[in-house]
Amino acid sequence: MKRLILIGRSQAGKTTLTQALKGETIHYKKTQYINYSDRIIDTPGEYLQTSGLGAALALYSYEADVVGLLAAATEPYSLYPPNITCMVNREVIGIVTKIDKPGGEPQLAASWLRLAGCKTIFYVNAKSGEGIEEILSYLTH
């Protein structure tokens, strides 16, 4: 299986998605630092939200085979600049989270990820498991 790094703002669902991909029980846990496991690297949202730390994400991405940019369906705007995916020489996928939330706009979040440069987009509800198998299958091929 390819190693995946998850990048997104705080509350985008990175840690919840990590738990779902690993088959763990879902429980809220604030990520305070870069968390490495065999196949997933979970990053704090502050790394994306703070300009001085953003470049570190590009460096950490070299530890992974695939970069996953997350955008929750409930986000009010995108933090990703257009064509940001060119900053790394890794495959970059988009992951729309919280697709079940009332008032969420999964298609808008997906359009932001496409604008950032993601060609492959996954839609997930980590709590129900929707979309998890598709990501796992993608990472094993």
Structure tokens at 36: 């490495």
pLDDT band at 48 (very low <50, low <70, confident <90, very high): confident
For the cut 90, the answer to whether the pLDDT of residue 132 exceeds it is: yes
pLDDT in tens, 58-83: 888 889 999 999 999 999 999 999 99
| Least confident among 15-19, 28-32, 88-92, 126-130 | 28-32
Q: How far apart are CA 70 and CA 121, in angstroms?
A: 10
What is the model's pTM?
0.93
CB 118 within 8 A of CB 82: no
Structural domains of the chain in order of their starting residue, each with its CATH number? 4-140 (3.40.50.300)
- Note the pLDDT of residue 65: 96
Instruction: Say which amino acid occupies 128.
Output: S
